[in-house]
Structure 1
């Protein structure tokens, strides 16, 4: 086989395999174990095939290792970008706002289909309202845009969470 074509195949297949590994890990940590195991099955088959290709004749062509390592590095980057694109899982959003704005913001968020829990709080100089939301990660940017459209000096904290069960508009039943 043409060495350039072989290098290209090693690189592309390694990028694909590491991207699968990234998605598998995310799925498993988000309690999607069956999907993660399914991906893992194919990931290992690809890994065995690509490693055996790289190790065959390694002393005559050590450049294959460099291409393999480059594919690994690019695969990590690509996998993380894919994970962000798919936005697997759920997030918890905490919003700290002025008391006077909190009720209006909660009402506006609810009108846009979000479940909101509101708690009275006290800041250093005045009363505050803390709003809690659990949303699919895909809706986080939309949620932030809605919040910022009502108040720009709000404090927003976002955490990735494991699945939520129960509650109004439950993410999982």
Structure 2
């Protein structure tokens, strides 16, 4: 029976920390209401878990070990969950040789992405800079497509706050 309590502590901690990870991302993406609801659930779980672990911890230190394992696994699972949910947008910038910029931009547009093409100057040659705001769920697909199409491309991906206006963007 005691082993069941250890696994319950660990499972509850995994759930609590996973909720915490998703909550933090939601709040940073501007989802205050959902983030606040998750915060309530998170703290409620924490209170029950922590109070159970702290009771007689000196006589039963395995509770602390399972709590710590649950915390660690919760962080891992929470990041996977957050990645799967993939809320928000990422800014993808691609730098390529000028002569391939327009062709790559057209290929990317044919894949359903909006692209802005800008002229740039490299150290020795002119460059094309492609700028895209992409739903996070589609970033990996886009990056793989670019890598396959243009092996010498320099690709950067940055998280971005909400975008207002633009082709293919939700207007807030």
Fold match (TM-score > 0.5):
yes
Residue by residue over 1:2-50, the C-alpha shift from the partner in whole angstroms, topping out at 9 and shown as x without a partner, is 1100001000110110010000001101111111111111111111111
Aligned length: 172
Residue by residue over 1:70-108, the C-alpha shift from the partner in whole angstroms, topping out at 9 and shown as x without a partner, is 111111111112112222211000000111100011111
The answer for the alignment partner of 1:152 in structure 2 is: 151
Partner of 2:33, secondary structure, is helix
Find the aligned partners of 2:170 and 2:148 in 1 and give their Cα distance. Answer: 25
The answer for the alignment partner of 1:89 in structure 2 is: 88
CA RMSD of aligned residues (A): 1.2
8 Å contact 1:94–1:158 — kept in the other structure? yes
The answer for the alignment partner of 1:128 in structure 2 is: 127
The answer for the alignment partner of 2:69 in structure 1 is: 70
The answer for the alignment partner of 2:4 in structure 1 is: 5
The answer for the alignment partner of 1:36 in structure 2 is: 35
Find the aligned partners of 2:170 and 2:118 in 1 and give their Cα distance. Answer: 21
Partner of 2:132, secondary structure, is strand
Find the aligned partners of 1:145 and 1:69 in 2 and give their Cα distance. Answer: 37
The answer for the alignment partner of 1:161 in structure 2 is: 160
8 Å contact 1:163–1:171 — kept in the other structure? no
| Consecutive unaligned residues in structure 1, runs of 5 or more | none
Partner of 1:157, secondary structure, is strand
The answer for the alignment partner of 1:48 in structure 2 is: 47
* Divergent runs of 4+, >3 A: none
Find the aligned partners of 2:54 and 2:146 in 1 and give their Cα distance. Answer: 54
TM-score, with length taken from structure 2: 0.95
15-24 vs 82-91, which moves further = 82-91
The answer for the alignment partner of 1:170 in structure 2 is: 169
The answer for the alignment partner of 1:79 in structure 2 is: 78
Partner of 1:97, secondary structure, is strand
Partner of 2:8, secondary structure, is helix
| Consecutive unaligned residues in structure 2, runs of 5 or more | none
Offset, 1:149: 2.7
Partner of 2:117, secondary structure, is strand
TM-score, with length taken from structure 1: 0.94
Find the aligned partners of 2:78 and 2:142 in 1 and give their Cα distance. Answer: 25
